[in-house]
Chain A
Amino acid sequence: MPRKTGLSFISILIFLLVVTTMSEGAFKKEDIKVFKLDNGLKVILYEDHKIPNISYYTFFKVGSRNERPGLTGVSHFIEHMMFNGTQKFGPGEFDRLMEFYGGANNAYTSDDMTAYTDWFPPLALEKMVEMEADRMQGLIFDPEVFESERGVVASERRMGVENNNEAILQENVRATAIMAHPYHWDVIGWMSDILNWRRDEVIQYYRTYYAPNNAVLVVVGDFDSQKTLELIKKYYSSIPSQTPPPPVTTTEPPQMGRKEVVIKKEAQTPSFMVVYHAPKCQDPDFFALSILEKPLLRGESSRLYRRLVRDEQLAISVFGGIEEKIDPYLFTIFVKPRPGVDLDKIEKIIDEELHKVIEQGLTDQEYQKALNLIRSDFYFSLQTNSGKANLLGAAELLFGSYEQLFTLIDRYAQVKREDIPGVARKYFHELNKTVGKLIPQGGNQ
Chain B
Amino acid sequence: MKRLLTIILALTILLPVITMAVERLPKPEKLVLDNGLTVYFLKNPELPLVSFRMLIPGAGRAFEPQGFDGLASLTTSLLLKGTRTMSAEEIAEALDFMGARLSLSDAEEYAAVSGEALVEHLPRLLQITADCLTSPAFKEDEYKKELARKTDALKSLKDNPGAALRQYFRKAYFGSHPFGQLSSGTESSLKKMSLDEIKKFFASRFRPDTAIMAVVGDIDRDRLFGLLKETIGRWPKPNTAPPSLTIPPLPVPRGRKLILVDKPDATQSYFALGSPGFAVNDKISSAASLMNTLWGGRFTSWLNNELRIKRGLTYGASSSFQSWKDGGLFMASSYTKNDQIGQMLDITFDLLKKAREKGFSQEEAESARNYLLGQFPQTLETNGSKAGAYLRVVFYGLGFDYYDRYLNEITTVQAADLKKAALRLLPEKDFVLVVVGKADEVRKILSKYGQFQEKKITDPDF
On A, residues with C-beta under 8 Å from B are: 21, 25-26, 50-53, 79-80, 83, 92, 95-96, 99-109, 119-121, 124, 147-153, 155-156, 158-160, 162-165, 265-269, 294, 298-302, 306, 309-310, 313, 316, 336, 338-339, 365, 368-369, 372-377, 379-380, 382-386, 443-444
Contacts and interface: CB of A to CB of B under 8 A. Distances in A.
A301 B96 contact: yes
Please give me the 5 A-B residue pairs with the lowest Cβ-Cβ distance, nearest first: A102-B374, A151-B312, A376-B99, A148-B312, A300-B92
Given A26-B46, A377-B99, A379-B118, A268 B458 contact: yes
Contacts of B428: none
Contact of A266 (B20, B47, B264): B264
Contact of B265 (A96, A106, A108, A265): A265
30 contacts: A25-B47, A50-B46, A51-B23, A53-B378, A95-B300, A96-B367, A99-B298, A100-B371, A102-B371, A103-B371, A104-B371, A104-B375, A121-B19, A121-B373, A149-B312, A152-B308, A269-B152, A269-B159, A301-B92, A301-B93, A310-B145, A316-B152, A369-B99, A376-B100, A377-B99, A379-B48, A379-B49, A383-B47, A383-B381, A385-B381
A316 B116 CA distance: 25
Contacts of A298: 96
Interface in B139-191: 145, 148-149, 152-153, 155-156, 158-162
B312 A102 contact: no
Interface in B183-227: none
B381 A119 contact: no
A96 B309 CA distance: 12
Contacts of A374: 99
Contacts of A147: 312
B156 to A, nearest CB: 5
Given A121-B21, A368-B97, A316 B156 contact: yes
B155 to A, nearest CB: 4
A376 B98 contact: yes
A373 B375 contact: no
A209 to B, nearest CB: 17
Given A106-B5, A299-B95, A443 B375 contact: no
B149 A316 contact: yes
A254 B166 CA distance: 45
Centre residue among A119, A148, A300 by max chain B CB count within 10 A: A300
Given A152-B314, A300-B96, A109 B1 contact: yes
A339 B152 contact: yes
A152 B159 contact: no
Contacts of A163: 160-162, 266-268
Interface string B63-86: 000000000000000000000000
Contacts of A99: 298-300, 367, 370-371
A3 B335 CA distance: 56
Contacts of A153: 315
Nearest to B120: A17
B342 interface: no
A443 B378 CA distance: 44
Contacts of A152: 308, 312, 314-315
A54 B63 CA distance: 43
B366 interface: yes
Centre residue among A107, A372, A382 by max chain B CB count within 10 A: A372
Centre residue among B99, B158, B313 by max chain A CB count within 10 A: B99
B19 A52 contact: yes
A379 B47 contact: yes
Contacts of A299: 92, 95-96
B2 A268 contact: no
Contact of B268 (A108, A158, A302): A158
A159 B335 contact: yes
Interface in B330-382: 335-337, 366-367, 370-371, 373-375, 377-378, 380-382
Contacts, number: 205
A300 B156 CA distance: 20
A336 B156 contact: yes
B148 A313 contact: yes
B134 interface: no
B52 to A, nearest CB: 14
A434 to B, nearest CB: 23
Contacts of B381: 50-51, 53, 383-385
A380 B49 contact: yes
Contacts of A266: 264-265
How many residues of B sit at the interface, in one of the four size bands? 35 or more
Given A156-B315, A163-B267, A120 B374 contact: yes
Contacts of B458: 268, 443-444
A187 to B, nearest CB: 9
A284 to B, nearest CB: 23
Contacts of B382: 383-384
A164 B335 CA distance: 14
A309 B149 CA distance: 9
B22 interface: yes
Given A100-B366, A101-B374, A163-B161, A148 B311 contact: yes
Given A155-B268, A376-B100, A384-B378, A267 B298 contact: no
A269 B159 CA distance: 8
A380 B382 CA distance: 9
Interface string B115-138: 011100000000000000000000
Contacts of B98: 372, 376
A53 to B, nearest CB: 4
B156 A268 contact: yes
Contacts of B117: 376
A338 B22 contact: no
A339 B159 CA distance: 12
B3 interface: yes
B38 interface: no
Interface in B265-313: 265-268, 298-300, 305, 308-313
A155 B93 CA distance: 42
B305 A92 contact: yes
Contacts of B93: 301
Contacts of A92: 300, 305, 309
Given A100-B366, A121-B20, A150-B312, 12 more contacts: A26-B46, A99-B298, A103-B371, A103-B374, A103-B375, A104-B298, A104-B371, A107-B1, A108-B2, A152-B314, A376-B98, A384-B382
A268 B2 CA distance: 30
B311 A102 contact: no
A119 B375 contact: yes
B183 to A, nearest CB: 16
A375 B99 contact: yes
A108 B4 CA distance: 10
Nearest to B149: A316
Contacts of A372: 97-99, 118
B8 interface: yes
B383 interface: yes
